[in-house]
Each structure stands twice: as C-alpha cells, then as structure tokens.
C-alpha cells in the first residue's frame, strides 16, 4: 500500500479527527520556535562571558560560567533540531493526508 493511503487508512480505522490547517499551523509554529531556539543557542555560544575577570580566582568563575553556557548551548541546539524534526514530521503528515483526499479525512477510503 502507498504510504499516503496507509495514512488515510489509519485515520479511518482509528476514527481520529485531523484539522489540516491546525496541524500545518502547529508544524509551522514548532519550526519557528526551533529556529529561534537555534539562534538563541548560537548567541549563547558566541558571547564571550567573563571579560570582567582579572585574577586567577575570578577567571575560575568566568571559566565556569563559559562552560555552563556552552553546555546549555549544546542542549538548546539538540532541542532545536528535535523540535524542527517534529515540525517537519507534522508538516509531512499533513501534506500526505492532503494528497490523498484533498483534506477530507472523516469519510471512508477513496
């Protein structure tokens, strides 16, 4: 069975509802947030924290701050990628449903 038909079969078997505009909107919002998240991670990674440190003790604190922010930055990058992938998956699903029956998902199989 073609993937698109299997999507629609699943929809009808489970009696689910799918608002295509709503899913497309959610996908777009997720991808937009993912984009901003990636930008925030970039900023966090590029900031040169710790320019205020002049002694060894102060540099130790500054290094900890930089280390912590790079850690956070890596975390945010991963989250951004995961969220973007989820948004793309949602958009692909919505598009697959749309290709099968032009958005009619509550009826029977075509």
* Residues near other proteins (CB under 8 A): 10-11, 14-19, 21-23, 25-26, 29-30, 33, 36-37, 40, 43-44, 47, 49-55, 57-58, 60-61, 64-65, 67-69, 71-72, 75-76, 79, 82-83, 86, 89-90, 93
Q: Which of 85, 89, 80 is nearest to 24 (CA)?
A: 89
Q: How far is the CB of 102 from other proteins (least distance, A)?
A: 18
Distances (CA, A) of 14 to 11, 41, 61, 92, 95: 6, 40, 56, 20, 19
Q: How far is the CB of 20 from other proteins (least distance, A)?
A: 9
């Amino acid at each position: 069975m073609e993937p698109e038909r299997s999507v629609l079969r699943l929809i009808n078997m489970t009696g689910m509802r799918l608002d295509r505009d709503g899913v497309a909107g959610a996908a777009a919002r997720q991808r937009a947030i993912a984009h901003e998240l990636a930008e925030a991670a970039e900023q966090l990674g590029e900031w040169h924290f710790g320019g205020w440190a002049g002694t060894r003790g102060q540099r130790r604190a500054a290094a900890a701050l930089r280390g912590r922010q790079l850690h956070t930055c890596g975390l945010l990058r991963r989250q951004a990628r995961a969220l973007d992938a989820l948004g793309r998956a949602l958009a692909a699903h919505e598009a697959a449903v749309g290709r099968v029956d032009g958005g009619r998902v509550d009826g029977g199989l075509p």
